[in-house]
């Protein structure tokens, strides 16, 4: 039922698309859906986390271009489309007290300016479904929190003909989901599976220090274990952001497939009901033609508002 359906994944930085929901992306592409990744920033202030690249002359010369090439490589692996929203990475402030954010960065951008930029992409691509981050950004990086605000605002505005009238003909996405990420339940299951096989778990210290940031809920589990290897190849394409011998790759794929073979999402808002045990982001939308007709119909009423966020979607 994915043939011809359209999915938009809104992310903060290049590499986020490969660490969050990437296996589901690859699955939907293989099933005939069109998927576009929107990178709100270029990752200009990201740290180089791969020790093998610390002194790479090409990287030191031009980090921005290096990360653009990484994104193109990951895009090709996932088989999706991609666009840059064009804002500047805010960096992750550290210290006590935290330093101010740099002028001109995404997290300080005027919300209407950023929202209109994303609305233009939404109205051009015409997604049936969007994904983004929860109100805490998945983790409290200022760009991730801003991505949540902009993503939710664009979801609400894209179908409103009075909002941003110069941004293209109205188009109402029918669902928006939050990426599930590495939830506590999943981490515990993988940790136990590693220990049961006599293997060292990379999660032991993490679990000892775990601090839950919000109520964890999953409404939708997309089976995509067959695409975990594609996900990992896409993540490795972001060579500056991952150590190939590091944390992300220490649990064998066969254990991941057996223990937790899904990408998980939380439905935030939907114009169709969200069934219990949903396993498809396009569930309830019918064919692409039926979803197109619904998305352009006026007077739509929300059927699900399980997490009405960002100021009640700019009430």
Arithmetic mean of pLDDT over the chain: 92
Which one is predicted more confidently, 76 or 243?
76
Q: Does the predicted model carry a pTM greater than 0.75?
A: yes
Beta strands in the chain (DSSP E): 6-11, 34-41, 81-87, 129-132, 175-179, 220-223, 262-270
Spatial distance between the Cα atoms of 211 and 74, rounded to a whole number of angstroms: 31
Nearest to 146 by CA among 184, 170, 118: 118
Q: Is the pLDDT confidence value at 190 over 60?
A: yes
Burial of 114 (0-12, 13-18, 19+ CB in 10 A): buried
Q: What is the pLDDT of residues 267-298, one digit of tens each?
A: 999 999 999 999 999 999 999 999 999 999 88
Residue 59: predicted pLDDT: 82
Q: Is the pLDDT confidence value at 209 over 90?
A: no
Stretch among 13-22, 53-62, 109-118, 161-170 having the lowest mean pLDDT = 53-62
pLDDT bucket at 38, cuts 50 / 70 / 90: very high
Residue 205: predicted pLDDT: 86
Residue 292: predicted pLDDT: 97
Structural domains in the chain plus CATH codes: 6-182+217-314 (3.40.50.10320)
Q: Can you read off the two tokens belonging to residue 100?
A: 């101010």
Spatial distance between the Cα atoms of 37 and 25, rounded to a whole number of angstroms: 9
How far from 53 is each of 17, 61, 89, 119, CA to CA, in Å? 21, 12, 20, 37
Residue 307: predicted pLDDT: 60
The sign of the dihedral angle between the CA atoms of 110, 84, 213, 308 is: positive
Q: Are 132 and 175 in contact (CB under 8 A)?
A: no
Phi-psi region of 247 (alpha: psi -120 to 50; beta: other; left: phi over 0): alpha
130 DSSP β-pair partners: 8, 176
pLDDT above 70 as % of the chain? 95
Residue 137: predicted pLDDT: 86
């Amino acid at each position: 039922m994915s043939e011809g359906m359209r999915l938009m994944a809104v992310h903060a930085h290049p590499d986020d698309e490969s660490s969050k929901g990437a296996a589901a992306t690859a699955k939907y592409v293989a099933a005939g859906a069109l998927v576009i990744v929107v990178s709100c920033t270029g990752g200009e202030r990201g740290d180089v986390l791969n020790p093998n690249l610390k002194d790479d002359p090409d990287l030191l010369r031009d980090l921005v271009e290096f990360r653009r090439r990484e994104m193109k490589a990951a895009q090709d692996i996932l088989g999706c489309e991609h666009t840059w929203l064009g804002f500047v990475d805010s960096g992750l402030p550290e210290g006590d007290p935290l330093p101010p954010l740099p002028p001109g960065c995404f997290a300080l951008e005027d919300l209407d300016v950023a929202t209109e930029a994303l609305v233009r992409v939404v109205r051009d691509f015409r997604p049936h479904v969007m994904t983004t981050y929860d109100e805490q950004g998945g983790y409290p990086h200022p760009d991730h929190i801003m991505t949540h605000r902009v993503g939710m605002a664009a979801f609400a505005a894209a179908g409103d003909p009075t909002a941003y009238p110069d941004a293209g003909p109205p188009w109402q996405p029918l669902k928006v989901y939050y990426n599930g990420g590495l939830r506590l339940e999943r981490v515990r299951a993988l940790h136990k599976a590693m220990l049961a096989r006599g293997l060292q778990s990379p999660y032991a210290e993490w679990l000892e220090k775990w601090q839950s940031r919000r109520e964890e809920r999953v409404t939708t589990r997309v089976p995509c274990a067959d695409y975990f290897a594609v996900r990992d190849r896409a993540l490795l394409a972001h060579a500056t952001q991952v150590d190939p011998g590091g944390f992300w790759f220490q649990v064998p794929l066969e254990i991941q497939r057996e223990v937790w073979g899904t990408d998980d999402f939380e439905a935030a808002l939907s114009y169709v009901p969200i069934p219990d045990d949903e396993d498809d982001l396009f569930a309830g939308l019918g064919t692409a033609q039926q979803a197109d007709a619904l998305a352009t119909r006026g007077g739509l009423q929300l059927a699900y508002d399980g997490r009405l966020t960002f100021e009640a979607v700019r009430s």
